[in-house]
Structure 1
Amino acid sequence: MSISSSRLQPQAPVGHLLERGQVLNHFVCDHPMTLPLTFPLLTAATFTIALLAGLYKCIIYPALLSPLARIPAARWHARFSPLYSYYIKYVNIENRTVHDLHTRYGPLVRLGPNELSVNCFEGGLKTIYTGGFPKTEWYHERFTNYETDNLFTTTDPKEHYQLKRMVTNVFSKSSILSSSALRITTSAVIFDRLFPILRESSRSRKAVNIHPLDYAYSMDSFTGFQLGGKLGTNFIQKTEEREWYTHHFFDGRPYLFWDFEVPNFTTWLQRFGIRLVPEWCAESQVALEDWFMPKCDRAAELVASQDEMQLQASGDWPTVFATLKQKYEELDGKSKTPTRAGESQLYPHRLEIASNLFDHTVAAIETSGNALTYLHYELARRPDVQSALRAELLTLDPSRDRKSELPDSKALDALPLLDAVIHETLRRYTPVGGPQPRVTPRVCTIAGYEGIPPVVRVQASSWSLHRNPKVFPDPEAWRPERWIDATPDELTEMRKWFWAFGSGSRMCIGSNFAMLSMKLVVAAVYAHFQTSVVDAEGIEQNDGFSGGPIGNKLWLQFDEI
């Protein structure tokens, strides 16, 4: 049975429609104030409700009712606005400012509506960093290479655990101290490349700007171990290549804030043709990646076609590359990461390997390089410490008479004054003094404050941790003897607060290499040379995430003995 459409949709005669239109027109004309009053009232009510809701959400709740409201705030407006946190990052005064805030307000400070800074071990470092609080996307945005995550950037705990297992053994202290390849490559870097420059300073009585050479040594030493002597860098001797690298690596630093702290705002402005970050910044990153990738590809060829024993003996075996490649192949032999347009995977996991290795080099050149510069600076001002260190070094075999050999790594590592000099430099001039942000995974207690909600950014910084006067008396002074004269209990407490390499599962994977690499070059240099300061203008440490001398130089006179 069908139903007529005319019954469902009755049609009125045209005359009736006209009559209805006249009635409507008559109603509107006779009641002119009805509609104009109704709509503005509704609009005003809606606007008022929206305004009140916005005030409650953005100001009243975060400032007065949030569980974070009882935490001391950096400024009154930091309770509901992130502008103060952005400001201290943008003008590069974050480390000193946050430390002053902790000195004034205690171990927990609110920097923004959803950002806390913590400066304590119990309830702070122990809770956050050994408690497995996840990393923020900030790491992914800032440290990803080849558009591919690596050990440092991944926020997934399982993925991080898997990646860390791949390289844990090759970077373990026992492996580092017993590595013959490391000794061969580092010995060549020190005695064949660095020493001729220092001897020329002694012979000609001309000062040397040691700061760029510290960067160069750190890079050459690490890439020699990572990729082998043939494929590692030679920044000490190849000045042009070193200057090209440091130009691309450092010159974009003033623009990092826009991309990594306020990326959405930066992207939004680009829609209107306003670029806060010049295009050449991204081009510099690509240039560095393109410079590094062929080294990885040649390392893959070495691993595939040459004899490992022969390459180990010559120091040309790409130790870290080979380990990482083998571990990836053991997983599944296939890359999980899509390639860039037009790029083919020459071997499985090419981009993942390159991203991880490139990240290692970034850490090596800057952190160890800056630490060595400040170590040279302090030793050059203290002839008495130099003499004591030299006396300690000359107890090792080989002595100064055997000028082209390095002492045994294990014996070197056990020297108390050498270890104290490096630890104190890393404490006083921590290379990465900026905050290491994490996110609260659940409701938790931090620094004695209960009920901290999930998804709050929490962070500690080594700059502040290393300046706790109860743990490190007279913290601004460089006093290596504090590590030797401390009681066992004091030393335990100092090591708990020492955070140059982080802590927990995310602790710096290359810490053992960094320590030995610095000890090797310091031992070699100060067993054979005496140093003095010629020009240290601008030696003050930059107050950024990572910090070297603001003047980018340190001129020393080297005198061979």
Structure 2
Amino acid sequence: MGSRFTIPPPKEDHLRKLLLRVIDELADGNGPCTRRQSSALDLQWKVDRHQGPVVRLNPDELHFNDPHYYDEIFNIKNGKTEKPYNVANTFGPYAAVIGTVDHDLHRIRRGALNPFFAKRSVIEILPFVQDIIERLSDRYDAASKTAEPINLKYSYAALTLDIMNEYCFSKDTQTVMKSDYGRKSFDDVDSFLAISLVNIQIPWLVKAIYSLPDWFSRIINPAMGDILDVREGLAKLVEDIRHGNDLSYEKSGHRTIFHDLLESRLPSSELERVRLRDEAFSLITAGSATTAYVLKAVSYFIAANPAVRQKLFQELKTVIPGRGDRPRLQDVEKLPYLTAVIQEALRISQPVTHRMCRAFPDKALTYNGLTIPPGTAIHSTTLLLHENEKLFPDPQAFKPERWLGEEGQELQRYLVPFARGTRACLGINLAWAELYLIVATVFRRFDFDVSGVVRQRDVDVAADRILPVSAPDSPGMIVKALAIED
């Protein structure tokens, strides 16, 4: 027959579909569950391991767990690439790049943003990025003198949020200077993400939720009310720029995303208030949360492994001779061990946990002689790829050495934290620059006492909310900074 229906469903397919829906909706990591026992990833992982590399989730959706097929799924040569409606609306009915179903509309929206995240544009904004990093370093220095605990979950989130706010709107929000690093706002985002899996499985429900009056949403979920306030605050920033009430960018010394967008030649429909509000919320949330999670994880793994810590420190000293010197991106990105440490952190921390999904309306794909009709939703889970034991023996161990030498070069094709293809992560260049500069700055100047950190509770992915979350009883990642003197 040569169709998706020739790919067998798992046994008791109707029951499995129900389980996927229920587990997806309730995946919050509560109870005595260990990693992957609290999300649909656990079910997916078990099914894929026992039933082969491709499983039919339902008549229109296939899931692949074949590392060698990943490039075929996320290949730009596949032509028009769409995101199924329910997946596109993961975070609600957003008119942002991340929530765009149609290929042509996605190309227009992403094309307008691409120049801001090109490598050259990222290099141009590094001065203010490093200024914000220095603020955080100063706070770590102060904490090291008083033995004051630092919560790395929130300090890194504050850092990446400040960077995105400055780049998007030329707003110096100074979240890193708040005593608690703005903890409540990040907890609100975690609560907001909890509904994302419901959005995927019951897409009509999200429309109903977002059609409710704001006052009613606040009664149902106070955190959702706070998120609505954030969105409206972003809408006001957009309108202030549109009407010439905000000229802060003229003093900033760098271009900003939304000042430039509003002066672009985009169709008027693409510059409407709600459209740009949604884009702003998407950029700031995704651009801060994912990088912050990786920074938290890499800090733990460096500090918890003295051999890694010492080797990294010695390498950093070769390009950052003085403790107070600012690293230069062109220097640190050439350091092989630092690069390997970051690559291993990206692999093991899983910046995006849920199944990645694509559909190709004009092209049929083939897999081992089977034809996959155009329009079929094709899923692949990065976590399963990054924990493939054949590619990454002892996958739960933090081993930067995996990425060194010729064998490490061969593994590069299987490291896909930012996905690939026309819908790959927009901010990959900025994320890499942040990771290089922040890790280099922090670990040239500090070590961390992580004796109070419990990896399974505070570091590992405990639940899938599209983005990773730690166990519900985790306080974050509380450490003590130890200043390293020259």
Under a length normalisation based on structure 1, what TM-score does the superposition of the two structures give?
Answer: 0.74
Give structure 1 stretches of 5+ with no counterpart.
1-64, 338-347
Say whether the 8 Å CA contact 2:463–2:470 is kept in structure 1. Answer: no
Say whether the 8 Å CA contact 1:227–1:321 is kept in structure 2. Answer: yes
* Distance in 1 (alpha carbons) for counterparts of 2:406 and 2:224: 48
Change (3 A) 1:535 1:560: same
Say whether the 8 Å CA contact 2:341–2:400 is kept in structure 1. Answer: yes
Give CA deviations for 1:200-241 in whole Å, capped at 9, x if unaligned: 33212233221111111111122223322xx14322223578
Say whether the 8 Å CA contact 2:91–2:193 is kept in structure 1. Answer: no
Match for residue 66 of structure 2?
120
2:196 to 256, 266, 269: 256
Match for residue 33 of structure 2?
none
Say whether the 8 Å CA contact 2:344–2:400 is kept in structure 1. Answer: yes
Is 1:336 the counterpart of 2:246 in the alignment?
no
Match for residue 183 of structure 2?
243
Match for residue 527 of structure 1?
444
- Name the SS of the counterpart of 1:476 in structure 2: coil
Say whether the 8 Å CA contact 1:532–1:558 is kept in structure 2. Answer: yes
Match for residue 36 of structure 2?
none
* Distance in 2 (alpha carbons) for counterparts of 1:128 and 1:512: 19
Amino acid at match of 1:143: F
Is 1:197 the counterpart of 2:139 in the alignment?
yes
C-alpha deviation, 1:246, in angstroms = 2.1
C-alpha deviation, 1:536, in angstroms = 1.7
Is 1:169 the counterpart of 2:115 in the alignment?
yes
Amino acid at match of 1:378: F
The correspondence of residues 147-546 of structure 1 with structure 2, limited to 5 A, is 149-176=95-122, 178-179=123-124, 182-192=125-135, 194-228=136-170, 231-239=171-179, 242-264=182-204, 278=220, 280=222, 283-299=225-241, 305=247, 308=250, 311-312=252-253, 317-327=254-264, 330-332=265-267, 335-336=268-269, 349-397=272-320, 399-401=321-323, 403=324, 405-441=325-361, 444-448=364-368, 450-487=370-407, 491-492=409-410, 494-537=411-454, 538-539=457-458, 540-544=460-464, 545-546=466-467
C-alpha deviation, 1:448, in angstroms = 2.0
Change (3 A) 1:511 1:324: same
Change (3 A) 1:473 1:491: farther
Change (3 A) 1:69 1:350: closer
- Name the SS of the counterpart of 1:521 in structure 2: helix
C-alpha deviation, 1:296, in angstroms = 3.3
Amino acid at match of 2:190: F
Match for residue 31 of structure 2?
none
Is 1:138 the counterpart of 2:74 in the alignment?
no
Change (3 A) 1:306 1:217: closer
Is 1:554 the counterpart of 2:477 in the alignment?
yes
* Distance in 2 (alpha carbons) for counterparts of 1:226 and 1:232: 11
Amino acid at match of 1:187: Q
Change (3 A) 1:306 1:501: closer
Query: Number of aligned pairs?
Result: 459
The correspondence of residues 5-24 of structure 1 with structure 2, limited to 5 A, is none
- Name the SS of the counterpart of 1:170 in structure 2: helix
* Distance in 2 (alpha carbons) for counterparts of 1:72 and 1:206: 57
* Distance in 2 (alpha carbons) for counterparts of 1:389 and 1:336: 49
- Name the SS of the counterpart of 1:143 in structure 2: coil
* Distance in 2 (alpha carbons) for counterparts of 1:439 and 1:183: 36
Give CA deviations for 1:481-521 in whole Å, capped at 9, x if unaligned: 1111343xx524x2222110010010111011011112111
- Name the SS of the counterpart of 2:378 in structure 1: strand
C-alpha deviation, 1:165, in angstroms = 2.0
* Distance in 2 (alpha carbons) for counterparts of 1:268 and 1:95: 27
Amino acid at match of 1:548: V
Match for residue 86 of structure 1?
21
Amino acid at match of 2:336: P
* Distance in 1 (alpha carbons) for counterparts of 2:118 and 2:59: 40
* Distance in 2 (alpha carbons) for counterparts of 1:227 and 1:304: 9
C-alpha deviation, 1:69, in angstroms = 4.6
* Distance in 2 (alpha carbons) for counterparts of 1:282 and 1:202: 36
Under a length normalisation based on structure 2, what TM-score does the superposition of the two structures give?
Answer: 0.85
C-alpha deviation, 1:368, in angstroms = 0.7
C-alpha deviation, 1:266, in angstroms = 7.9
* Distance in 2 (alpha carbons) for counterparts of 1:95 and 1:400: 45
Give CA deviations for 1:431-470 in whole Å, capped at 9, x if unaligned: 1021112235257344325233344322111101112233
Change (3 A) 1:552 1:448: farther
Say whether the 8 Å CA contact 1:129–1:506 is kept in structure 2. Answer: no
Say whether the 8 Å CA contact 1:120–1:447 is kept in structure 2. Answer: no
Change (3 A) 1:286 1:66: farther
Change (3 A) 1:297 1:394: farther
Say whether the 8 Å CA contact 1:207–1:534 is kept in structure 2. Answer: no
Percent identity for Structure 1 against Structure 2: 20
Change (3 A) 1:278 1:511: same
C-alpha deviation, 1:383, in angstroms = 1.6
C-alpha deviation, 1:362, in angstroms = 0.9
- Name the SS of the counterpart of 1:82 in structure 2: helix
* Distance in 2 (alpha carbons) for counterparts of 1:449 and 1:87: 34
C-alpha deviation, 1:138, in angstroms = 2.0
- Name the SS of the counterpart of 1:500 in structure 2: coil
Amino acid at match of 1:75: K
Say whether the 8 Å CA contact 2:65–2:385 is kept in structure 1. Answer: yes
Change (3 A) 1:133 1:359: same
- Name the SS of the counterpart of 2:425 in structure 1: coil
Say whether the 8 Å CA contact 1:84–1:112 is kept in structure 2. Answer: no
Give CA deviations for 1:263-306 in whole Å, capped at 9, x if unaligned: 34788999xxxx9x936565344222013233334555779757
* Distance in 1 (alpha carbons) for counterparts of 2:342 and 2:374: 38
- Name the SS of the counterpart of 1:169 in structure 2: helix
Say whether the 8 Å CA contact 1:430–1:462 is kept in structure 2. Answer: yes
- Name the SS of the counterpart of 1:547 in structure 2: strand
C-alpha deviation, 1:109, in angstroms = 1.5
Amino acid at match of 1:473: P
Amino acid at match of 2:237: K
In terms of Rg, which structure is larger?
1
C-alpha deviation, 1:253, in angstroms = 3.6
Give structure 2 stretches of 5+ with no counterpart.
28-38, 211-216
Say whether the 8 Å CA contact 1:439–1:455 is kept in structure 2. Answer: yes
* Distance in 2 (alpha carbons) for counterparts of 1:363 and 1:468: 26
